């Protein structure tokens, strides 16, 4: 059966969906068979990030309500043969039970290695539905006080589910601010939340999929950490060391 990993956050705007999509791509590039399942029924856009929004005939709600077989709702990515998306639906007036969604994911699990579940942020019904379908979790936060405060609440809720593994991803990290001591380090956030740190993802303008950037390297290492248990983390402060680094920090401060 596939590993079911939910990616969640305490608040919106921390990059959870982008991380889910990019992790799916990096795992597929390593040869893993991956489903990226969108369970954020309110702000569903995993298919948009992955560029498959015009390919979907059915979604996860169609599968739950019997309008299609679960495999018919899968969308094969046009560039990555082992990557599939399971689109969401902007429902607002119908209840979809966690048990029904889990049955769909369980029925799809055997040919696949990993199912990544994009959860709604926060701690409402959608969060519980998504986490109930998973055995592992990745909690996404940024080094901002409001995000960390909400992440702390969600971390406690995740622990109550007795998941096999819960890891932390600190996103949108600015190395120049870290160097100047203006934000908490990812390691300090990990200690505060009492969760193992699986990835440090830098703040960067170019973020998507195949761009060869610092951010893409961070996602590559995240995939290795998730799949193989490796412990390599991106160092956002590295390029701000020395004379050139001081110049970069000065330029960043003046932007």
Q: Please report which residue ranges of the chain form alpha helices under DSSP H.
A: 16-29, 46-50, 60-64, 98-108, 125-132, 145-159, 175-179, 186-193, 214-228, 242-254
In this prediction, residue 243 carries a pLDDT of 46
CATH classification of the domain holding 236? 3.40.50.300
Domain coverage including residue 160:
3-254
Residues 44-82 pLDDT 10s: 889 899 999 889 899 999 999 999 999 999 999 999 999
* Mean per-residue pLDDT of the chain: 88
229 or 194, which is more confident: 194
CB contact set of 213 (below 8 Å; sequence gap of 6+): 204, 206, 207
pLDDT digits (tens, 9 = 90+) for 20-53: 999 999 999 999 999 999 998 877 889 899 999 8
Number of domains into which the chain is organized: 1
Q: What is the pLDDT of residues 120-150, one digit of tens each?
A: 988 788 899 999 999 999 999 999 999 999 9
**pLDDT greater than 80 at residue 242:** no
Q: Which helix (H) or strand (E) holds 75?
A: strand 74-76
Q: What's the CA gap between 217 and 219, in Å, rounded?
A: 5
- Per-residue pLDDT of 152-192, as tens digits, reads 999 999 989 989 999 999 999 998 888 888 999 999 999 99
Quick one: pLDDT at residue 24?
96
What's the pLDDT score for residue 34? 98
User: Higher pLDDT residue, 215 or 92?
Assistant: 215
What's this model's pTM, rounded to 2 decimal places?
0.90
Q: Please, which residues have CB within 8 angstroms of residue 44's CB and are 6 or more apart in sequence?
A: 38, 87, 88, 89, 90
Predicted pLDDT at 228: 85
């Amino acid at each position: 059966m596939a590993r079911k990993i939910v990616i969640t956050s305490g608040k919106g705007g921390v990059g959870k969906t982008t991380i889910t999509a990019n992790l799916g791509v990096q795992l597929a590039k390593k040869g893993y068979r991956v489903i990226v399942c969108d369970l954020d029924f309110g702000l569903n856009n995993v298919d948009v990030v992955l560029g498959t929004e015009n390919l979907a005939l059915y979604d996860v709600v169609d599968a739950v309500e019997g309008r299609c077989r679960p495999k018919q709702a899968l969308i094969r990515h046009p560039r990555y043969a082992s990557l599939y998306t399971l689109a969401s639906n902007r429902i607002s007036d119908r209840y979809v039970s966690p048990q029904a969604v889990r049955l769909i994911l369980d029925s799809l699990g055997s040919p696949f290695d990993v199912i990544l579940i994009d959860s709604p942020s926060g701690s409402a019904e959608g969060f519980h539905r998504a986490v109930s379908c998973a055995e592992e979790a990745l909690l996404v936060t940024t080094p901002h006080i409001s995000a960390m405060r909400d992440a702390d609440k969600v971390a406690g809720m995740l622990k109550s589910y007795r998941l096999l593994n819960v890891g932390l991803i600190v996103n949108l990290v600015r190395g120049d601010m870290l160097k100047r001591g203006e934000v908490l380090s990812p390691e300090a956030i990990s200690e505060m939340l009492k969760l193992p740190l699986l990835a440090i993802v830098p703040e960067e303008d170019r973020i998507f999929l195949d761009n060869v950037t610092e951010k893409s390297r961070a996602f590559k290492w995240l995939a290795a950490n998730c799949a193989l248990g490796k412990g390599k983390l991106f160092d956002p402060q590295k390029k701000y060391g020395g004379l050139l680094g001081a110049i970069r920090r000065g330029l960043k401060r003046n932007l």
